[in-house]
Amino acid sequence: MTGMRVIGWGKALGEKLVTNDDLAQTLDTSDDWITERTGIRQRYIGGSVASLGTQAAQRALEVAGLTGSDIDMVLLATTTSDQIVPSTAVVIQAALGVTGGALDLNAACSGFAYGMVVANGLLATGMKRIVLIGAEQLSTITDFSDRSTAVLFGDGAGAVVLEATDGPGDLLSSVLGSDGDLKHLLYAEHGGYLQMVGKEVFRKAVQVIVESASEAMVKAGIGVDDLALMVPHQANLRIIQAACQRLGIDEAKAMVTVDKYGNTSAASIPLALVDAITEGRLQAGDLVLLTGFGAGMTWASAILRWNP
Ligand code: UT7
């Protein structure tokens, strides 16, 4: 039996810091509205998916003490590939000097959590190490004249290096879900901007987090009290609070970065995970709930044992 463990991590942010007050200069909005309704105070904009993803991956390789030639596969979760063809994963693969495969994965904001499960499966086929990246440049599909979406999103990337281990490894359980009948709730046409029915997405998000996280905990044979940390997709502080309340998870156990980075879609879970690690919020043996939801709709929950 082959499993996986996390051996490296890194992040990168868009180069320009944009505060709520900056946005209020050109939009009919306010710091008060954005903070109260979303928890967002600022976000970073800029870079490209390839440049952000490469920086985050390079930092993750440094932590692991590896170079690109040690990696069998670049797996990039993104909704905002720099080009339609080729994948942005191949641009990152070339920049890192990886000689193995490269693949973009689009499961919207659930992409990184989906990627954990895909990577776990790929490692079981005999690969030794995978770089899994969540990277987004949402500013390319954001209409900055639409206050209902312009205040929400940011650019950034987070990455982990995953290594095959003998035995079951540290991904204890996972639950993946999707419902394409809800695709009208959140979408962007080619060349168009993100459109969202915010209230409906909010309601569905809380529901799927609670259901998939509960199922993932049952599959792993654990309860909420066994969790050291929850790393949810960072779309809205109120979604995180509502999910914690319904799951019976102490809010203090939820990693929150939406205030600093806004919603960075597939990059939000790895950005929050990397901050949790660097802020010392994880100790060896801790159990972590990763939970994502987004356009599709898609959702994914996974239980990870922190064992670097
Ligand atoms: O990552 C992918 C998943 N995405 C999400 O999970 C997002 C889920 N949805 C949300 O987070 C929330 O629905 C939003 C933050 C998008 C919106 O918050 P809301 O509490 O659902 O507000 P709303 O859309 O119902 O709008 C309330 C009011 C409206 O005015 P009226 O109709 O009550 O007069 C909006 O026009 O707030 C107005 N509004 C704003 N006002 C100031 C909408 N956007 C803004 C804004 N500034 N930026």
Q: How far is CA 64 from CA 56, 132, 143, 261, in A?
A: 13, 13, 38, 25
Q: Which atom of ligand 1 is nearest to the CA of 238?
A: 11
Domain boundaries, the chain: 2-166, 171-305
Residue ID of nearest Cα to ligand 1 atom 14 = 198
Distance 199 CA to ligand 1 centre (A): 7
Q: Is it the case that residue 176 has pLDDT exceeding 90?
A: yes
| Ligand 1 binding pocket, CB closer than 6 Å | 29, 33-34, 37-38, 109, 147-148, 151, 186, 198-199, 201-202, 205, 235-236, 239, 263, 265, 294
**CB neighbourhood size of 134 (10 A):** 35
Q: Which atom of ligand 1 is nearest to the CA of 202?
A: 8
Beta-bridge mates of residue 175? 301
Assign domain 171-305 one CATH number from 3.40.50.300, 3.40.47.10, 3.30.70.60, 3.30.300.30. 3.40.47.10
DSSP β-ladder status, 155-166 and 186-187: unpaired
CB-based contacts of 278: which residues, under 8 Å, 6+ apart? none
Distance 202 CA to ligand 1 centre (A): 10
Domain 2-166 and domain 171-305 have a common topology: yes
Residue ID of nearest Cα to ligand 1 atom 36 = 148
Q: Which residue has the tokens 């987090």?
A: 209
Is 244 one of the annotated active-site residues of the chain?
A: no
**CB neighbourhood size of 183 (10 A):** 12
Into which CATH architecture does domain 2-166 fall?
A: 3-Layer(aba) Sandwich (3.40)
Identify the band that residue 156 occupies on the pLDDT scale cut at 50, 70 and 90: very high
Chain segment 280-293, per-residue pLDDT in tens = 999 999 999 999 99
Chain segment 184-203, per-residue pLDDT in tens = 999 999 999 999 999 999 99
Identify the band that residue 308 occupies on the pLDDT scale cut at 50, 70 and 90: confident
Tokens of 176: 């993946």
pTM, two decimals, is 0.98
Is 233 one of the annotated active-site residues of the chain?
A: yes
Identify the band that residue 232 occupies on the pLDDT scale cut at 50, 70 and 90: very high
Q: Is it the case that residue 1 has pLDDT exceeding 80?
A: no
Is 109 one of the annotated active-site residues of the chain?
A: yes
